[in-house]
Amino acid sequence: MEKVAVVHYGEIGTKGKNREFFERKLIEAIRRKTAAKVRRKFGRIEVEYKEGLEKKLSKIPGIRYFGVGFKTNLNIEDIKKAALMALPKNFETFKVDTSRSNKNFPLNSIEVNREVGAFIVEKTGKKVDLTNPDVTVWIEICEKEVYVYSDRYEGVGGLPVGVAGKVVALISGGIDSPVAAFMAMKRGCEVVAVHFFNQTMHSPKVREKIIRLAEKLAEYQGKIKLYMVPFRDVQFEIINAVPPKLRMVVYRRSMMRMANIIAEKEGCKAVITGDSLSQVASQTLDNINVIYSASRLAVLPPLIGMDKEEIVAYAKKIGTYEISILPYEDCCSFMVAQHPETRAKIEDVVKYESFEEIERRAVEESEILEVEG
């Protein structure tokens, strides 16, 4: 009897003729993350058990849920023994939940539940509770084997990283942008992170914070390339040329152009932002239109319809919140009007812009890091 994890996916199962491609990508991600033996089964993936496997699998996009327990034979007596082994030490009530994709197995799901349940009562003296049990024993009867487990874990869901292509994700250091990057990963994007870095006396702490955020995100992607783009020279050019009321919009348009340069270099197909509609002055519909128009590539804002409470809850769930709330200097707040423009017009902005050369130089001078989770 072998201890294994049995992995289930959700959306991948709807991919029709492309399903095998998505399954293969998920298997590759599991192998990279766990260094375990992985076997593709019909409708599920089997993973050799290793210490700490649960934490690693719970952070792989594409996994809906997984159970950790035992693989056994297509034999009711072996199933009973595996069920007993799968039980935790301390519990008072339980139920058995059987799914049977192998219709040739001589007992149906209800009959398996009854036989295994009676066996557990006999051996442990515990009670059956079908509505609110302390523990559930899941039994999956497949074509060639049976999986039995009581430890079940939720996964990230979504799609495996990389199946949708590469994107540039703008990482500011606040709460929103790391969540947006994570949401892109969950939809199958491989993220290249970009931070626009304003060199000041606080720079070492800011740099450390951004790297920590990238490390946390890399726990889900596996490895992240991080560009630290020096923004100070570009910023001073903008300050010299642009009225304070418009600087926030021009700062962000400049970032879009530099993100496009990096995207072209890295083979990325879109730019990810942490924008949430109307949350701050730069995120009104008028300003978003003007800012996004600076990008040749599609700009995708995964958080556009979420409020701050929802974003904070997600940040706590993925582990970026405690890092994001550490103090940092936002380069976009430097020398900006107290009441910035909320309804910018493109014709009022472009007449001030001639920063392409200095923007390209800033990208060329970027510090590029390979960050692992």
According to the model, what pLDDT value does residue 364 have?
98
Query: pLDDT higher for 200 or 215?
Result: 215
According to the model, what pLDDT value does residue 329 have?
62
Given a contact cutoff of 8 angstroms between Cβ atoms, the answer to whether 329 and 210 are in contact is no
pLDDT(210) > 60? yes
According to the model, what pLDDT value does residue 340 have?
80
Share of the chain above pLDDT 90, in %: 88
267 pLDDT tier (thresholds 50, 70, 90) = very high
pLDDT(337) > 70? no
- Angle at the Cα of 34 from the Cα atoms of 31 and 39, rounded to 5 degrees: 45
SS3 361: helix
- Looking at domain 2-154, its CATH class is alpha beta
Task: Give per-residue pLDDT as tens, 23-36.
Answer: 999 999 999 999 99
What is d(CA 273, CA 270) in angstroms, rounded to the nearest whole number? 10
Query: pLDDT higher for 338 or 10?
Result: 10
pLDDT(199) > 90? no
**How confident is the model over 234-259, as a mean pLDDT?**
95
SS3 173: coil
**How confident is the model over 39-49, as a mean pLDDT?**
94
15 pLDDT tier (thresholds 50, 70, 90) = confident
Q: Which residues contact 354 (CB under 8 A, 6 or more apart)?
A: 241
According to the model, what pLDDT value does residue 202 have?
56
According to the model, what pLDDT value does residue 300 have?
98
With tokens 């969950």, the residue in question is 186
Task: Give per-residue pLDDT as tens, 298-324.
Answer: 999 999 999 999 999 999 999 999 999
Q: Which residues contact 131 (CB under 8 A, 6 or more apart)?
A: none
Query: pLDDT higher for 273 or 206?
Result: 273
pLDDT(361) > 70? yes
According to the model, what pLDDT value does residue 304 have?
97
According to the model, what pLDDT value does residue 110 have?
97
pLDDT(333) > 70? no
Comparing CA positions, the residue from 304, 314, 254 lying closest to residue 284 is 304
According to the model, what pLDDT value does residue 88 have?
96
Q: For the chain, what is the radius of gyration of the CA atoms?
A: 26
Q: Which residues contact 327 (CB under 8 A, 6 or more apart)?
A: 205
pLDDT(334) > 60? no
Return the percent helix, strand and coil in the chain, to nearest 5.
45, 25, 35
Q: What is the DSSP string of 287-310?
A: HHHHHHTT-SSEEE-TTTT--HHH
Domain at 165-372: CATH code: 3.40.50.620
Mean pLDDT taken over the chain: 94
- Locate the domains of the chain by residue range: 2-154, 165-372
According to the model, what pLDDT value does residue 280 have?
84
pLDDT(38) > 90? yes
Give residue 39's Cα distance to chain centre: 24
Q: Which residues contact 149 (CB under 8 A, 6 or more apart)?
A: 6, 67, 68, 69, 70, 86, 137, 138
